[in-house]
Amino acid sequence: MDSPVEIIQSIQKAFANVARGSITLHQAEIIDSDGSAEDQQKARLLDQETSWDQVPDASLEECTSALCHLDPESWRYYLPAYLIWSIRNYQHSDSIMIDFTIYSLKPSEDNDLLTQYDMTRYRLLDHDQSTAVYHFLDFMAEQDEFVDAVAADEAITSYWHEFGPDSEE
């Protein structure tokens, strides 16, 4: 198993220079609560960063449900911030955000349309990004005292195993 520092470094390298999509973090959180178009526009103004690694931890902590409401490009942009925050905080945070991050990486099993949407997101990631996600999930699958390790393992089994050390490129 890779160390948390190594996983964070691989995420930073793999997701460097990823452009933001059309939906911002705070906007996605407003979408989650069925906010109006006007509320969404106001929320967009809160997201002024020019790179995902500039997203403040406080913004991530305010937007625990945002990942499931982001378009694929925006999901790819914000995902590394959530992955790194989760690694840094899994032992001492009781935020549901860590499990929500894991759940966003587990393909839907109940709805074919949602499964297709999940696959659209996952296939947007290049090989290095997908490998970094695999290592994140592999690490989280060992942290059953702190996170939903079963969901992390199921995510690996259902899709991300293709990017593990035992897979062929």
Look over the chain and give the mean of its residue pLDDT values, rounded to a whole number: 93
Q: Can you give the pLDDT at residue 15?
A: 98
pLDDT value for 85: 98
In a domain, 168, yes or no: no
Residue 24 lies inside a defined structural domain of this protein: yes
Above 90 in pLDDT, residue 21?
Answer: yes
- pLDDT for res 109: 84
Task: Flag whether pLDDT at 143 surpasses 90.
Answer: yes
- Residue 66 CA to residue 4 CA, distance in Å, equals 24
Look at the chain and report how many structural domains it folds into.
1
Whether residue 114 is contained in a domain is answered as yes
In this structure, is residue 169 part of a structural domain?
no
The mean pLDDT of 142-167, rounded to a whole number, is: 94
User: Residue 156: what pLDDT?
Assistant: 97
Whole-number pLDDT of residue 129: 98
> Does 124 fall in a domain?
yes
Tell me the H-state helices in the chain: 4-14, 25-32, 37-44, 57-62, 72-89, 97-103, 112-124, 127-140, 149-158
- By three-state DSSP, how is residue 149 classified? helix
Mean pLDDT of 30-35: 89
What's the pLDDT score for residue 151?
97
Check residue 35 and give its pLDDT: 87
Q: Please report, as a single letter, which amino acid is at residue 112.
A: D
Question: Region 141-167: what's the mean pLDDT?
Answer: 94
Domain containing 109: what range? 4-163
Residue-wise pLDDT for 57-93, tens only, equals 999 999 998 999 999 999 999 999 999 999 999 999 9
